[in-house]
Amino acid sequence: MSESVIVPPVLYLPIVPATNQAGEEFVVRRLSNGRYGILAYTALDRLAKSCGAEQPWVLLPIEQLERVKEVQPFDVVAFDLDVPETQRSADRLR
């Protein structure tokens, strides 16, 4: 039996410094299937456990994901993805 994710009306999205150092951006990662997924967490404790306790984040109403996609393209929403510790530094994502 497959475990499904119940999607709440808001999501916790981790943020990192923008690649051009002009602000911050959402975390979009290449997934094992080659597609790009934006990391999104259904609860704050899941974000902290999966990304690190010091991970900066924003709370985003789910209906705003399409606006985010216009600025930072992604193929799928990766819900509650556990990020390996090798991709973290100082208890946050690199």
Q: Sign of torsion, CA 23 27 30 35? A: negative
Residue 45 has what pLDDT?
A: 97
Residue 4 has what pLDDT?
A: 73
Which helix (H) or strand (E) element contains residue 70? helix 65-71
The least confident of 18-22, 72-76, 86-90 is 18-22
Residue 65 identity:
L
Number of residues that this document lists for the chain: 94
42-70 in b/e form (b: 16+ CB < 10 A) is beeebbbebbbeebebeebeeeebeebee
CA distances from 29 to 2, 34, 46, 80 (A): 23, 10, 18, 13
Mean pLDDT, residues 61-72: 95
Inform me whether the pLDDT recorded for 7 exceeds 60.
Answer: yes
Single pTM value for the model: 0.87
